[in-house]
Structure formats: structure tokens, C-alpha cells
Amino acid sequence: MGEFTQNLVFSLNATIPVFLMMVLGGFFKKVHLLDDHTVKKINQFAFKVLLPALLFKDLSAADFRKVWDTKFVLFCFLATVCSIGIAFLFSLIHKDKAERGEIIQASYRSSAAILGIAFVNNIYGQATMAALMIVGTVPLYNIIAVVVLSLTATHDGEKQDRKTLLLKTLKDVVTNPIILGIAVGLLWSVLEIPQPVLLSKTVSYLAGMATPLSLIALGASFRLSEARENMGLSFGIAGIKLVLFCILFLPLAVWMGFRSEKLIAILVMLGSATTGSCFVMARNLGHKGSITACTVMLTTLLSAFTLTTWLFILKTLGYI
């Protein structure tokens, strides 16, 4: 088997199983094995229990001094800040000021938790670097989303008091189950607390369900009909989200010496689909949400191809 074929197989093996699980989720919804209520509950269960368990398992068993990487966390944070700035500049092209908040949020906010963990776990068998990437990005994702959506909101939608919502968001960041799972896992590692077999096996069972259930629920949440509105604008956002950020920041990441698991985590941070939680936040902050919904659907479809391409390029160049 030639090097080209080997690299292509590696890339497909990394991405296709992830997206096949999402396709299965859509199929199960189509044949009525899943309904909206069940999908919602699976999402909640995965977010509040399974994903935190997976991150705790990987981090608590790791050597903190070897795992923690300040340069990596700072890179993720600063790249996100720059991405937000680029998204803001892109939004200025759009004439309707009320929709700029949706454009900004949909352009920079990635599926860091579900897809980030899924990809890194699928390739390397553990999600330690994905956890550190989440530390550097998710709090910033949420805080900036509230600010930009609040400043551009109209009276359409389900608008809440901005101060109350900002305080609620800050509380949600601090009490975010995924952030808590990372914090407890890192603390466990620092204190070198032993894990009884009963605890480690129970956590391992929960962690094993995290990725497949999360992806099935994500696929079951997909509604193609919602992707038809605002298609032109959403293609522009998708180009920024899936291609431009990777072109700008992946070479910088390589130059700074990030490789393998760290580089995959950075790739997902930069070039994965817009997260579905963007729609919920847009609606709650007084926006229609149609641009966001369309972008989530479109980037989810296109990322199956773009992420495979980026992985193939990185593998061919020998960086992963």
C-alpha cells in the first residue's frame, strides 16, 4: 500500500466512523426509534454525566506535570480571540445590524466538546489534549456569545434581561459539567489520589458510552429543512469556520511545535462544525436564530469532507 493510500485510509478511519454515528442517529430518528424528547434527554445525559466522566477518567489517571501545557492552553485561547475578531470583521459586511450577533457567534463557536473529544479519542484512544483545549476555549465561547448577542439583539424571539442572562451565563460557565469534569480530573491527578477498582471501572463504563451516544444524539437533532434558509450567508460563514481559520492558524500551530494529539485538538477547535447550542443561546438572547440553525446544519454536513481533507494534509506532511 502506497504512502498516499495509507494517509487517506488513516484520515478516513479518523473521520468516517464519527460521522457514521451521526448518520445512524438521523436514521434512528427517521424510523422512529428516537423522538425529540428522547434525543433531548440523551443530550442532557451525555453533557452532564458521560462527557465529564470521560474527561475525568483520562485526566485523573494522567501525570499532571506531563499533561498540563500552558503554551498549548494559551495558544487555544489566543487563537479563539483572533477568530472572534475575524468573525466580527466579517459580520460588518452584513447590512442588518440585528443579525450580526448571530453571524459572529456562528463563525467562531466550534463543537469543541462533542466532536473534539470524539476525534481525539478515535485517533489516540484518550482525550487529554481535547480537555485542555476545552479549558482554553469553552469559557470564552460562552461569555463572548452573550456579549455580542446581547448588544445586537432586537425584540424578536425570547429575549431576557441582559444583566440577568450575563450573570446566568457566568454561573453556567463555572458550573459547566464538562469544565467540572476537567477540574476534578486535574485536581485528582495533582493530589495523586488512588482510584479504587470499583470507581475506575464504573467511570470507565460511563466514559465508554460518551462518544457514541453524543454523536447519535447530535445526528438525531439534525433537521435538513432548517438548512435551506439563509444558504448564501451560511456558506460564507462555513468558509470562515471550516477553511479560513485552519489556513491562518494551523501553520502557526505547526511552527510553534504542536504535533499529534495537540494538533488534532487544535484542528477541531479551528475547523469543526458550529455547535448546536448556538441556536439555543441566539433564541434566548432575542434573535430569530434562522442564520444560526442554517449554519449549524451546513457546517455539520461540510465538515465531514473538510476535516478529512485537513487530517489527510497533516498526515501526509508527517505532523500527526
> Are 241 and 100 spatial neighbours (Cβ–Cβ below 8 Å)?
no
Residue 62 three-state SS: coil
Query: pLDDT category, 229, cuts 50, 70, 90?
Result: low
Q: Which amino acid is at 46?
A: A
pLDDT in the model for residue 243: 96
Region label for 230, one of left (φ > 0), alpha (ψ between -120 and 50) or beta (otherwise): left
For residue 47, give the nearest of 241, 221, 269, 288 by alpha carbon.
221
Higher pLDDT, 208 or 65: 208
Higher pLDDT, 8 or 248: 248
> Does domain 3-316 match CATH 1.10.10.10?
no
Statement: residue 56 has pLDDT above 60: yes
For residue 214, give the nearest of 290, 102, 114 by alpha carbon.
114
| pLDDT above 90 coverage of the chain, percent | 30
Where are the chain's structural domains? 3-316
